[in-house]
Amino acid sequence: MLEIVKYGEPVLVQKAQDVKEFGRKLETLIADMHDALKRDRGIGLAAPQVGVSKRLFIVGLDDEPLRVFINPRIIASSEETCEYEEGCLSFPGLYFGVVRPSAVDIEALDMYGKPFRLSADGLLARVIQHEYDHLDGILFIDRISPAKRRRALAHYSRMLNM
Ligand SMILES: [Zn+2]
């Protein structure tokens, strides 16, 4: 079982590299990430969160088949934004509201290297943007004000020491 990398590990703040090889090894990584996602009851997981600095993430919303995004590009974001309470498997137990565009258009490759395009809103758009950020080494604490970030990190370190 893949371990989820927690906040503080350098891989989480690195810019990940494009996936160049498709095949059995990639399929195994995706299957293992899917197992880790289900085990930790998450809805999204990016490869850097399992220590693999590649541009790949998965989204598994309730009652939907797993979605795989490889070498993704967000090509449009709505002007309309909304705040939603987010968590992150790399910060277990920490949740806070993050403002992001309400809808995005994204292009990516599927696990076989086939391109697709998707317009997403609601929870799917939210998870896509959170996971996409992981590929650029951006964490959800980077999307809030400095004051809110200090409070969130102080709360997080208190939780870890409990
Ligand atoms: Zn995350």
Q: What is the pLDDT of residue 39?
A: 95
Identify the structural domains of the chain with CATH numbers, from first to last.
10-161 (3.90.45.10)
CB-CB neighbours of 107 under 10 Å: 15
For ligand 1, the distance from its centroid to the CA atom of residue 61, given in whole angstroms, is 15
The CA 130 to ligand 1 mean position distance, Å, reads 6
pLDDT of 94 reads 95
Q: What is the pLDDT of residue 63?
A: 84
What are the tens digits of pLDDT across the range 7-37? 999 999 999 999 999 999 999 999 999 999 9
Average pLDDT of every residue of the chain: 96
pLDDT at 160: 87
Q: Which residues are catalytic?
A: 131
What letter represents residue 116's amino acid? F
**How remote is the CA of residue 115 from the centroid of ligand 1, in Å?**
24
- φ, ψ at 139 (rounded to 5°): -110, 160
